[in-house]
């Protein structure tokens, strides 16, 4: 490849183009200004979207990555610009989202002098990145960016941060780009051990009450087809973690629902009756296991996982199959015998009947006057025929939406899982819509989380991002209030909100908006929002004490799941 004499800042843009980057989210400032100046000449080759806050930029990059499978890219300046990325980095790290974040830094002679807007970005971000690196010489830029994309997108994905000193952005050098395909001492994934697969297959063939749990690793590994083929060959019921949602169509007959604290009754109860648990691309998060000492006491454990650090971390595996879920499942499919577990599956269906009577029918088809979150989710899902992308915030609406929104295709559920980041949905939905402009994208938030990143309405307006925003307003921090109601004697300590006029704010930003307060308005209001070309905000006033059930109390066994207060 021929070299070209360029500045370090232009090298950043040329390197990103070599990696196929088409969208950058960011916010300029002094220390990254040379990179923004170089970007000015490439606006026909890459789109930059100016967010209203750096946290908005990184969550948008996350949303883009979640729906496309490519690394999300964002820019920020030094000091507070860089530190405003921390929440998004931590979110992406725990949820395994590939990101490449580039921050400007003060000139290298000023490092360590407490210069204006200097912060130790590499030190601060080390615990919440898969890899980070400070660039002090322009010649380091191409190799650093190539490594960043390789590390971010291979193996268990994650966020990478490059901190580039200002003098390195100005300096000239002979640019040449080589994509990174291998790094010494970095092993992205292990080859699948055929002996481990054989041991797993023997346990699967012998099991009478097996249950498969699938998580985000299925989606990240592109293993959706293999998951479906495996459960159809073996007849094993399959339950999903929050981040596994949409890997398997909602209406698949072997899909038995969501695991965990607010998951479905059947998968939680039956976990402790199963004689075999097959965990695929999930990490046995505490929200899934409940009380670890009481988790799956009768079951052998098979764990298919790409990251060896997750094996035996929470739940001891009888058989561990290290490697990419797509490859592991393919080998398992070839080694297991065809089977059916109809009687066992029917036990889940009986649990479904109980849950419908006690919880689901009341959530989705309420007879009480006030609107429920569940009926809003049901109507939005029905009117988009299960084809929409749903981006949720954190809290009650996240759990309700995950329980009741239906999906036909993968990479359709975007939410903050491990970190539980309020304010996530609005910017992440921007990224999802830019990444998949062909699909309807809902941003669904509670009134608390929505106000944490409400300023991104300005970004949505400026770029005409066609989002359908639903704010479920109960004038409370609903999930905290629910815990206060159930476990703290209704001592509602600082959870009630005096909210602004959300419709008025949306209109001030130039968005169409409407408010729903009664059931007879709801279906037509959602349809009107969907028919509108362009961004639209719909505020729905729901019951103040509309709780999310079922619920596994903190520290309890999954067998102790509550169906009602």
Nearest-angstrom CA–CA distance, 433 and 23: 12
Q: How many angstroms separate the first and last alpha carbons of the chain?
A: 68
For residue 318 the two structure tokens come to 């009888």
Query: What residue has token string 């399959």?
Result: 238
Residue 565's pLDDT is what?
Answer: 83
In the chain, what are the helix, strand and coil shares in percent, each to the nearest 5? Answer: 45, 20, 40
Using DSSP bridges, classify how beta strands 276-280 and 536-541 pair: parallel, antiparallel or unpaired: unpaired
Nearest-angstrom CA–CA distance, 182 and 10: 25
**What is this structure's pTM?**
0.97
Please write the tens of the pLDDT for every residue from 198-236.
999 999 999 999 999 999 999 999 999 999 999 999 999
Q: Which residues are tagged catalytic?
A: 54, 116-117, 166, 479
Nearest-angstrom CA–CA distance, 166 and 113: 15
- Domain annotation for the chain: domains and CATH numbers: 4-175 (3.40.50.970), 194-347 (3.40.50.1220), 369-541 (3.40.50.970)
C-alpha torsion angle, residues 77, 78, 79, 83 (rounded to 10): 60
What is 217-244 written as a DSSP string? HHHHTT-HHHHHHHHHHHT--EEE-TTT
3-state secondary structure at position 2 = coil
* CA 371 to chain centroid: 27
Residue 1's pLDDT is what?
Answer: 52
Residue 2's pLDDT is what?
Answer: 65
3-state secondary structure at position 510 = coil
Residue 444 dihedral angles phi and psi, to the nearest 5° = -115, 125
Please write the tens of the pLDDT for every residue from 62-118.
999 999 999 999 999 999 999 999 999 999 999 999 999 999 999 999 999 999 999
Question: Which residues of the chain have a pLDDT value below 70?
Answer: 1-2
Nearest-angstrom CA–CA distance, 117 and 111: 11
* CA 541 to chain centroid: 26
Nearest-angstrom CA–CA distance, 188 and 200: 23
Q: Is 208 left (phi over 0), alpha (psi -120 to 50) or beta?
A: alpha
């Amino acid at each position: 490849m021929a070299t070209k004499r360029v500045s370090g800042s232009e090298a950043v843009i040329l390197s990103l183009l070599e990696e196929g980057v088409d969208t950058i989210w960011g916010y300029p400032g002094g220390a990254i200004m040379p990179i923004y100046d170089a970007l000015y000449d490439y606006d026909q080759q890459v789109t930059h979207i100016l967010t209203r806050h750096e946290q908005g930029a990184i969550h948008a990059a996350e949303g883009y990555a979640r729906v496309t499978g490519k690394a999300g890219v964002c820019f920020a300046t030094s000091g507070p610009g860089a530190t405003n990325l921390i929440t998004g980095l931590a979110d992406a790290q725990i949820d395994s989202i590939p990101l490449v974040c580039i921050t400007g830094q003060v000139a290298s002679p000023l490092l360590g002098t407490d210069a204006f807007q200097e912060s130790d970005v590499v030190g601060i971000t080390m615990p919440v990145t898969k890899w980070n690196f400070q660039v002090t010489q322009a010649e380091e830029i191409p190799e650093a960016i190539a490594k960043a994309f390789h590390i971010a997108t291979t193996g268990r994905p994650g966020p990478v941060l490059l901190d580039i000193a200002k003098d390195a952005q100005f300096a000239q050098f002979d640019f040449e780009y080589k994509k990174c395909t291998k790094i010494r001492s970095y092993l992205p994934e292990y080859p699948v051990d055929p002996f481990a697969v054989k041991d797993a297959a023997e346990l699967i063939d012998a099991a009478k009450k097996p249950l498969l749990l699938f998580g985000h690793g299925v989606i990240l590994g592109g293993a959706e087809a293999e998951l479906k083929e495996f459960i159809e060959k073996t007849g094993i019921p399959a339950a999903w973690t929050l981040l596994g949602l949409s890997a398997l169509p909602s209406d698949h007959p072997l899909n038995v629902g969501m695991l965990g604290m607010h998951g479905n009754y059947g998968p939680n109860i039956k976990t402790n009756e199963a004689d075999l648990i097959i965990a695929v691309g999930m990490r046995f998060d505490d929200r899934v296991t409940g009380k670890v000492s009481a988790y799956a006491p009768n079951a052998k454990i098979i764990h298919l996982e790409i990251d060896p650090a997750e094996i035996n971390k929470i739940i001891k595996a009888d058989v561990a199959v290290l490697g990419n879920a797509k490859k592991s499942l393919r080998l398992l499919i070839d080694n297991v015998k065809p089977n059916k577990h109809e009687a066992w599956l029917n036990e889940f269906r009986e649990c479904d009947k109980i849950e419908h009577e006690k919880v689901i029918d009341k959530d989705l088809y309420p007879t009480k006057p006030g609107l429920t979150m569940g009926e809003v989710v049901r109507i939005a899902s029905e009117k988009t025929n299960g084809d929409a992308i749903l981006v949720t915030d954190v809290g009650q609406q996240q759990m309700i939406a995950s329980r009741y929104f239906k999906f036909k295709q993968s990479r359709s559920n975007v939410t903050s899982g491990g970190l539980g980041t309020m304010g996530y949905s609005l910017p992440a939905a921007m990224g999802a819509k830019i990444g998949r402009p062909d699909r309807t994208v809902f941003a669904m938030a509670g009134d608390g989380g929505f106000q944490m990143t409400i300023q991104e309405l300005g970004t949505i307006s400026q770029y005409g991002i066609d989002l359908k925003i639903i704010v479920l307003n109960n004038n409370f921090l609903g999930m905290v209030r629910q815990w206060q109601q159930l476990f703290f004697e209704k001592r509602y300590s600082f959870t009630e909100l005096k909210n602004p006029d959300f419709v008025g704010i949306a209109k001030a930003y130039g968005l169409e908006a409407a408010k729903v307060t009664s059931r007879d308005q709801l279906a037509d209001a959602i349809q009107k929002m969907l028919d509108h070309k362009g961004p639209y905000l719909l505020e729905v006033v729901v019951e103040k004490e509309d709780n999310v059930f079922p619920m596994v109390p903190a520290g309890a066994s999954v067998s102790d799941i509550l169906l009602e207060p």
